[in-house]
Each structure stands twice: as C-alpha cells, then as structure tokens.
A and B are shown apart, each in its own frame.
Chain A
Amino acid sequence: MAEATLPHDLPSAYEPSLFGTYSKKIGMWLFLLSDSLTFGALLYAYSYGRISTQNWPTPFHSESIANATVMTAFLLTSSLTMVLAVRASVHQDAKAQRLWLLATMACGIAFVILHGREWSKLIADGLTLPVFPQIPGHTATGELVDVARRVPQFPATFFGLTGMHMLHVTLGVIYLGVVALRRNFIPLLLVFWMAAWLGTPSDSPFHYAAHILLVAAVVCALILWLKPKVYDSSDVEVAGLYWHFVDLVWMFIFPLVYLMSARIF
C-alpha cells in the first residue's frame, strides 16, 4: 500500500507538503498529539482525586524518591542516546546508529526494571488493586494496607497512570528493537518474554503482563514477514519522536506523582 502514497518530496512532481516534512513524520506527530490527551486525561484524573480527597497519602520514602530519580536519569539519558542515533542515521553511519539505538533500549529496559521493582515493593507493602493476583491465604500487613482501604483512588490512579506509561516504554523498546535489529530482534524478544514470565512469581502482576512481549513478538514477526524493509533515517527519526514523547510524559508524572507525595518526615 505504501506505493500508493503521494511522493511529496519529489521535485516538480507533486505539490510540496503543507507542513514542510514527510507524511510518516506528520502521522507520528498526530498520533503523539492524540496520545498526549490520553496521558493528559490520566494526569487530570490523578489530580482530581488528589484535590477532592482529604488526607491524600504520601507513601514515597526517600528510597522510592531516589529510585524514581534514577529512573528519570535513565529516561533523560535514553533521549540523548536517541538523538545521537538519529544523528548517526542522518550521517549514514549504520554501526553507530545501531549502537545508539541499543543504548537507548538498554536505558529503557533499566527504567522498566526499576519501575517494576518499585511496584513490587508497594504491592508487598499492601498497596494493591483488586485486579492484581492474590496469594491464597496470605494477608498483606504492610504500612500501605490502610492507604489502599481508606483512599482507593490513590492505588487506582497511581497504577493506572504509571502502568500506562510503563506499557508505552515497553512498546517503545520493542519499536526501537525492530528498527535496530529487524528480524534478529524476534528471538531476543522471545527470550525477554521467557525471562519475564519465569523470572517473576506467579502472584506478581508482571507474571501475566509478560505475555505482552509474546503478543508483541507475534505482531512484529507478522509485520516483518509481510513487509520486510531496511529502516532508513526517516524511520529512525519517527521512532525517536515516539521515544522522546515517552520521556516527555514522565517529566510530568515524576513531580506530580512522586515528588508531590514524598514523605519528608
């Protein structure tokens, strides 16, 4: 179907693009604008809950804040490596492009692992949702059990917002993996799936969420099988737009959710 696309940039052949750029990039911008409204709605829902609820909890100890700060540093660094990947692709340096993309993926994976650790700690302390798997016969006794019972808006909005962001980061890593490694990424993705599935206890939500990687592997395999191509500088740039957006959203989640709910004393 791509052959049917109007080649805007061919000189004198067609009218130039209204926005002075190629359609793939405009398409990604439009997607990001719509996605920003998804995150905007979630951030507003969190803020609404916070305003309208007396005694909003402040569960984040200095250890959680330090963890979230390191996560932020990883995301910011991944944005730097991403622009360096775009730069390398513009200069047609395929080796550097692949290395910078892999560095970006490594930072993204580190972010997801740290975030998963944070979630697991909160769940173990009693901050949970009814949809999360329960251990039969086990009753949580951590300090956050009362928070989940007294202010259910907090775990609902916290896990909803940060879970949606974590999903975006995971899909971003997969997207970059496909651009960097193409078909070679599929077996790697299956290894990630097995590691995530077998490496998490059966009472962890991540044990079930790991199957997202399996679904992604099937979807990526289908796409790469139906339309094999060598990804060029425009594909790297468009993937970069998505990645920077994920970073951008975290710049609002980190202060609003973590810093404004830090336990100071």
Chain B
Amino acid sequence: MEAFQQAIAHRVAEQHRHHGKAQFFWVWGALLAMTAIEVYLAYRNLPPIRMLTILMGLSLVKAALIIGFFMHLKYELSRMKWLTMSAVITCLALMMIFFPDAFRILSLGAK
C-alpha cells in the first residue's frame, strides 16, 4: 500500500513539473482583469444581447483558464481532455433545446 501511495505521489509530482509560480499569478491577474472589464461593461448600457454575448464570451475564456491551468487539464492526456470536455459541452448544449419554448411563451403573450 505504501508503494502504491508513493507511486501516486510520484505521478502527481511528475504531472506538476511544468509549473512555475509565475504562471499561476499571471492567470490570476488575467482573471481579475477580465472581471474588472465585465463590471465596467455592465455600466456601459449596451443592448442586452450584445452585453450577454460579450459577458458570456469573457466567462468562457475565464473558464478555459481555470480548467486549463488551475485544474491542470492542459497537461493531461489528449483523450482525458477530449472525453471530459466534449461530454460536458454536449450535455450542456442539449439543454438549450428548452430555449425556443421560452420565446414561444413570449409570443403567446403570457403575462
């Protein structure tokens, strides 16, 4: 059992050998900067659709940075990256099937 734990610890250390501290601070700074941009945009009185598009775009970039660098997926095997991300994106995309119904309610004139 001890050999097993050591093998895992070795694997963890091996997987994290790419990282310098500076990289994490850069990612953190970028995330804070994008948050500041989002808050600034909220007060620019943009048309809702355009604002939603920009905000969701920035959120996706932030999510990619968190998943890639903080959650370390960037350094995992390709099959791990593809299987996890394609599965979750497909499932979330399938949920969009409900949105046309939301618009339908508006066109029916429901209060």
A residues contacting B by CB (< 8 A) are: 3, 5, 7, 9-11, 18-22, 24, 29, 33, 36-37, 40-41, 44, 47-49, 51-52, 54, 65, 69, 72-73, 76-77, 79-80, 82-84, 86-87, 89-90, 232-234, 237, 240-241, 244-245, 247-248, 251-252, 254-256, 259-260, 262, 264
The one of A20, A86, A256 in contact with B16, judged by C-beta atoms closer than 8 angstroms, is: A86
Q: In the complex, what residues of B have CB within 8 A of residue A11's CB?
A: 7
Alpha-carbon gap, A129 to B107, bound state (A): 28
Which residues of chain B come closer than 8 Å to A251, judged between CB atoms? 59, 62-63, 66
Q: Are B91 and A40 in contact (CB under 8 A)?
A: yes
Are A73 and B71 CB-contacts (below 8 A) given A80-B24, A248-B66, A255-B38? no
> Are A87 and B16 closer than 8 Å at their CB atoms?
yes
CB-based contact A48/B76 at 8 Å: no
Interface of A, helix, strand, loop or mixed by DSSP? helix
A-B contact pairs, 10 of them (CB 8 A): A9-B8, A19-B80, A24-B8, A40-B92, A44-B98, A44-B99, A84-B24, A86-B16, A237-B72, A262-B43
Contact B95 A41 (CB under 8 A): yes
Note all chain A residues with C-beta closer than 8 A to B5: 232
Give Cα A79–Cα B24 distance, bound, in whole angstroms.
9
User: In the complex the two chains form, is B32's CB within 8 Å of A76's CB?
Assistant: yes
Whether B58 pairs with A255 at a CB distance below 8 angstroms is yes
Q: Please give, as numbers and ranges, the residues of chain A lying within 8 Å of B99 by CB-CB distance.
A: 44, 47-48, 51
Are B1 and A3 interface neighbours, CB within 8 A?
yes
The smallest beta-carbon distance between B47 and chain A, in angstroms, is: 12
Contact yes or no, B92 A76, CB < 8 A: no
Establish whether residues B76 and A19, one from each chain, have CB atoms under 8 Å apart when the complex forms. yes
A52 to B108, CA, bound (A): 10
* Bound Cα distance from A40 to B94, whole angstroms: 11
* Residues of the B chain whose Cβ atoms lie less than 8 Å from the Cβ of A5: 4
